[in-house]
Amino acid sequence: MNQQQSQSYDASQFDRPSVTTDVVVFSILDEMLKVLLIKRKVWPYEDMWAIPGGFVQMDESLDEAAYRELAEETGVTDSDVYLEQLYTFGEPDRDPRTRVITVAYFALVSADKLNPKAASDASDVHWFSVYDLPPLAFDHDKILDYALKRLRYKLEYTAAGFQLLPEKFTLRELQDAYEIILGTKLDKGNFRSKLRKTDVVESLSGYRSTGGRPARLYRFREDAVAEIKTRRLFP
Amino acid sequence: MNQQQSQSYDASQFDRPSVTTDVVVFSILDEMLKVLLIKRKVWPYEDMWAIPGGFVQMDESLDEAAYRELAEETGVTDSDVYLEQLYTFGEPDRDPRTRVITVAYFALVSADKLNPKAASDASDVHWFSVYDLPPLAFDHDKILDYALKRLRYKLEYTAAGFQLLPEKFTLRELQDAYEIILGTKLDKGNFRSKLRKTDVVESLSGYRSTGGRPARLYRFREDAVAEIKTRRLFP
DNA sequence: ACAAAAGTGTTGAGAGTACACCCATGC
DNA sequence: GCATGGGTGTACTCTCAACACTTTTGT
């Protein structure tokens, strides 16, 4: 049945799937890459952890639905966050109750933007290290795997990682964030020289005292174009 | 309303959106990058061109729905084609009839795999050059833009482009395909030397006669890992 | 012999990487 | 002074990109 031939076809008389948006929320807490999960209270998968999400309302776009879910769970507003559509999961049997198609998003939130409730350890909301995850409801392990892959990929060729830091930060803190997410050590000198070339940060007048020499504070330049040419397979 | 709290929430009593899959089918015909469009016969957007697609059935996955649509329009089977989920479009007013959420896919099909009907110029099915498109129904211009961007991007760092060629091909034909899609001239020597390093093709015994020296035939190596490390923003 | 297209090699510029060294502060 | 972490420079290697060159066919 083609959409193009459907004037005489009244779709409303047929079964329609439910559509939800689920948001994989990442943040850096306690020097670990963590993800926000919610404990289910009801069948199915009762008492298991799940990615926050909910039904898309008839009058809101998918992005709006995702922002709404994100705000409900973390208290962050649109401008404070990086949100990107990830993938749409639609296996017929992924939810035993009914056909549910889930448009998954992933979000990067700076720890200092989280509201107290989301940052606290309520029994039904918890931040888990991505290296120490509990069993997850539905196919949410698949969604989380996918989100983590995309986050790492994104970080390697864009400046999205800045969304995980407070507005002012030192270069060491920035490098730490990258190392935590990518799971590798980076060279200090090379990290900084490349950063200088790409013009994505600007130095501020302030300093932050550390164990040794105080570190200059920087901030992200809003107008910076922070995408790098990819190395191509074929020239 | 959270999915997690929805045991007592019977979603079926609420309105649900319709969900469709639309497939942007690319092929190389007459040495041009072309896309398959279908002429609408009914309101809305009557007599305008549109990307082929249709409703997702309750017992099929999104991928299956996309494959089914693709087969209906082109006659190609699963194994002959590259198909990838693109993005999900869900603005509330994108279809004036009812709320429709569309999971868009893009496909690469070799011209020699197309069945005669799809390859012919029936009045309601037509291959358009991506540089000479008619006005499109719904938000299909946006979908097509997005698909083209992703196709080019994909081609630059994977070997997906092979799906657009017949099984046996010369290196010149491969380079032509890349030039057509990317819209730029490539250097013959560099193209070939990089290809040699990456081990994605193997030479066959046959030759194809051309205007000058005959060209050796090659085929794509199924087992080849054809993804390249991207150049990273930060080292 | 010459045109046309296949196919290979060379070379300078710039990017990537490892590592050494200097600087400013607290104790 | 010296430990600690911030900050910079250098030198070697590898990739990129332009272009010149050789090879094999048809006419």
The string of pLDDT tens digits covering residues A127-170 is 999 999 999 999 999 999 999 999 988 887 777 888 889 989 99
Please, are residues A151 and B226 in contact by the beta-carbon 8 Å criterion? no
Please, are residues B5 and A41 in contact by the beta-carbon 8 Å criterion? yes
CA distance A4 to A18: 23
- Cβ-based contacts with strand D at under 7 Å: A 170-172, 188-190, 192-193, 196, 210-216, 231-232, 235; B 187-190, 194, 209, 212-214
Q: Of B101, B106, B19, B85, which Cα lies nearest the Cα of A86? A: B85
Give residue A1's pLDDT.
43
Instruction: Give, for A62, the enclosing helix (H) or strand (E).
Output: helix A62-74
CA distance A150 to A155: 8
- As given in the structure block, the two tokens for residue B124 are 């309601």
CATH architecture of the domain with range B158-220:
Orthogonal Bundle (1.10)
Q: Of A148, A176, A174, which Cα lies nearest the Cα of A163? A: A174
- As given in the structure block, the two tokens for residue B183 are 């819209």
Which chain B residues touch A182 with a CB distance below 8 Å?
none
Give residue B139's pLDDT.
96
Please, are residues B34 and B128 in contact by the beta-carbon 8 Å criterion? yes
Mean pLDDT of chain A: 85
Which chain B residues touch A5 with a CB distance below 8 Å?
41-42
Ordered by start, the domain boundaries in chain B are 14-155, 158-220
The string of pLDDT tens digits covering residues B198-234 is 878 889 998 998 888 999 999 988 776 555 554 555 5
The string of pLDDT tens digits covering residues A48-102 is 999 999 999 999 999 999 999 999 888 888 777 899 999 999 999 999 999 999 9
Would you give the end-to-end CA distance of chain A in angstroms? Answer: 42
CA distance A231 to A233: 7
Q: Which residue is nearest to nucleotide D24 (CA to C1')?
A: B213
Give residue A123's pLDDT.
67
Nucleotide nearest to B189 (CA to C1'): C8
Cα dihedral sign, A124-A128-A133-A137: positive
- As given in the structure block, the two tokens for residue A67 are 């922002």
CA distance B158 to A133: 32
Neighbours of A161 (CB within 10 A): 24
Between strands A81-89 and A100-109, the pairing is antiparallel
Type of residue numbered A174: L
B185 touches strand C (CB under 7 A): no
Type of residue numbered A21: T
CA distance B123 to B17: 32
Type of residue numbered A220: F
CATH architecture of the domain with range A14-155:
Alpha-Beta Complex (3.90)
| C1' of D6 to CA of A184 (Å) | 21
Scored b (16 or more CB within 10 A) or e, B79-113 reads: ebbbbebbbbbbbbebbeeebbbbbbbbbbbbeeb
- As given in the structure block, the two tokens for residue B214 are 């005959």
Over residues B35-54, mean pLDDT? 92
